[in-house]
């Protein structure tokens, strides 16, 4: 996915307030978690920016399906464990007190069947009383007609123009990102294709409920996309 843009990921998403988001996630964990431990697995961890703050309160590990972007996380945290795996069917053969999956990473599973498998896999990796906090991708009704979008980064030695076209078909939202990146070493152009599933609220709720999680929904979430909070029953 982030085959060429991984090293620029943090600059592109420099507008995100990871500290404030992590603080809210921590509050939700403390409110909903029913077990005593503090192990945390961040699924779809990206470059580890949420882990930067969550590791202050939790023994954190990360998992991602993109080796390029996980290499950035490993360089940032050489003493932490980062696992390569697909959230649909990874198997670490142990359970965690907390699972997080933020910044809509779950959208990359694409299909409803895969969403159901993912929810079951999250539940399998939770301790009794553990909590999973999942930030969804856009729901179908949230998609606005916007055939082209642009984002720019203007730093002294880094200039980025990212322009993307968007298409929606059969419950899948696809982005073709066109990058123009300038550094003191030169100017590069490349493209990346990203595809994310558009799941309804009912499909999310059904997936987590069928995984035998007690689910609540925070409609505001971290950035207006909502949050699903699932607790594995202790009994």
Kind of pairing between the strands at 96-101 and 172-183 = unpaired
CATH number at residue 178: 2.20.130.10
In this prediction, residues 44-54 reach a mean pLDDT of 98
Residue 91 exposed, middle or buried by CB count within 10 Å (0-12, 13-18, 19+): exposed
Looking at the structure, tell me whether residues 125 and 51 fall in a common domain: yes
Looking at the structure, tell me whether residues 203 and 162 fall in a common domain: no
In this prediction, residues 158-164 reach a mean pLDDT of 97
> What's the pLDDT score for residue 145?
76
What is the tens place of the pLDDT at every residue in 201-219?
999 999 999 999 999 999 9
- pLDDT interval class at 55 (50, 70, 90): very high
> What's the pLDDT score for residue 50?
98
Query: What are the backbone dihedrals phi and psi of residue 159, each rounded to the nearest 5 degrees, phi first?
Result: -125, 125
> What's the pLDDT score for residue 164?
94
Looking at the structure, tell me whether residues 109 and 165 fall in a common domain: no
In this prediction, residues 25-31 reach a mean pLDDT of 98
Looking at the structure, tell me whether residues 206 and 227 fall in a common domain: yes
Distance CA 216, CA 28 (A): 11
Query: What are the backbone dihedrals phi and psi of residue 84, each rounded to the nearest 5 degrees, phi first?
Result: -90, 125
Q: Per the structure, how many domains does the chain have?
A: 2
- 56-70, 105-119, 138-152: the lowest-pLDDT one: 138-152
Q: Across-strand partners of 6?
A: none
Looking at the structure, tell me whether residues 117 and 191 fall in a common domain: no
- Residue 1 within any structural domain of the chain: no
Looking at the structure, tell me whether residues 118 and 150 fall in a common domain: no
Looking at the structure, tell me whether residues 131 and 213 fall in a common domain: yes
- The secondary structure of the chain in percent helix, strand, coil, rounded to multiples of 5, reads 30, 35, 35
Distance CA 221, CA 195 (A): 22
Please, which residues have CB within 8 angstroms of residue 170's CB and are 6 or more apart in sequence?
none
The helix/strand/coil state of 31 is helix
pLDDT of 2 > 90? The answer is: no
Looking at the structure, tell me whether residues 102 and 205 fall in a common domain: yes
Please, which residues have CB within 8 angstroms of residue 102's CB and are 6 or more apart in sequence?
21, 25, 42, 44, 50, 133, 134, 135, 222
Q: 86: closest CA among 105, 68, 102, 103?
A: 105
Its domain, for residue 166, covers 141-197
pLDDT of 32 > 80? The answer is: yes
Angstrom distances, CA of residue 146 to CA of 143, 171, 189, 221 = 9, 17, 23, 23
What is the tens place of the pLDDT at every residue in 113-155?
999 999 999 999 999 999 999 999 999 999 987 778 999 999 9
Looking at the structure, tell me whether residues 123 and 192 fall in a common domain: no
Q: pTM for this structure?
A: 0.96
Distance CA 5, CA 190 (A): 9
> What's the pLDDT score for residue 24?
98
pLDDT of 235 > 90? The answer is: no
- pLDDT interval class at 5 (50, 70, 90): very high
Greater model confidence, 29 or 165? 29
> What's the pLDDT score for residue 3?
84
Mean pLDDT of the chain: 96
Please, which residues have CB within 8 angstroms of residue 180's CB and are 6 or more apart in sequence?
160, 161, 162, 187, 188, 189
Residue 2 tokens read as: 């982030």
């Amino acid at each position: 996915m982030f085959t060429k843009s991984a090293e620029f990921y943090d600059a592109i998403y420099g507008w995100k307030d990871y500290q404030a988001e992590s603080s809210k996630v921590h509050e939700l964990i403390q409110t909903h978690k029913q077990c005593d431990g503090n192990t945390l697995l961040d699924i779809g961890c990206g470059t580890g920016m949420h882990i930067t703050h969550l590791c202050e309160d939790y023994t954190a590990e990360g998992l991602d399906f993109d080796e390029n972007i996980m290499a950035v996380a490993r360089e940032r945290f050489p003493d932490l464990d980062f696992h390569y795996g697909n959230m649909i069917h990874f198997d670490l053969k142990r359970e965690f007190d907390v699972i997080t999956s933020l910044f809509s990473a779950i959208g990359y599973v694409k299909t409803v069947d895969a969403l159901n498998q993912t929810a079951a896999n999250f539940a399998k990796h939770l301790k009794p009383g553990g909590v999973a906090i999942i930030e969804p991708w856009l729901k179908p009704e949230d998609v606005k007609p916007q055939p082209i979008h642009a984002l720019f980064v203007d730093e002294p030695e880094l200039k980025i123009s990212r322009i993307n076209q968007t298409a929606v078909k059969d419950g899948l939202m696809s982005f073709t990102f066109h990058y123009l990146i300038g550094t003191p070493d030169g100017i590069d152009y490349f493209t990346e294709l990203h595809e994310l599933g558009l799941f309804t609220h009912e499909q999310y709720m059904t997936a987590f409920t069928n995984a035998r999680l007690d689910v609540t929904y925070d409609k505001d979430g971290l950035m207006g996309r909502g949050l699903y909070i699932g607790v594995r029953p202790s009994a």
